[in-house]
Amino acid sequence: MGRKGKNVNALIIVAHGSRKKESVRQVAALCQKLSEKIQNLSDKNRFDVVMPGFLQFCSPLLEETIEDLVQKGAARIVIFPFFIAAGSHLLKDIPESIEKAGKAYPWVEFSITRHLGGIETIEDLILKEVKVHLNTRHK
């Protein structure tokens, strides 16, 4: 398009994608919850919009989400890979999509965070959930 951003900061939760509608709904619901929580963040850490993007099997595809955000005036797009392990989607497909988008929209700042499974405290989250499960199961 060639038009510059309107300083919209966007977060994309990129997931594998599924033919199962419930899976797609869960990722969309996560985006909605994140949208509500980010309202309390400082300006530097705030996002104007949180949207899902999928790699296959369903819409919107990551490329479609990026295009939509660019049309809405995105100046910064942060991509959070909602993946547990570092497979080919994480190591190849997502970076290639972001590189391609960066060339198509050079006025937009793109960045990719660590994937869900790569966060150092993921084990704490897992243990917390296991404790909740065990404590509610035996009551």
Please identify every residue annotated as catalytic.
16
User: Cβ–Cβ contacts within 10 Å for residue 124, how many?
Assistant: 10
Cβ proximity of 52 and 12 under 8 Å: yes
Residue 10: name the closest of 83, 67, 89 by CA.
67
Report d(CA 125, CA 61) in Å as an integer.
Answer: 28
Whether 9 and 43 have beta carbons less than 8 Å apart is answered as no
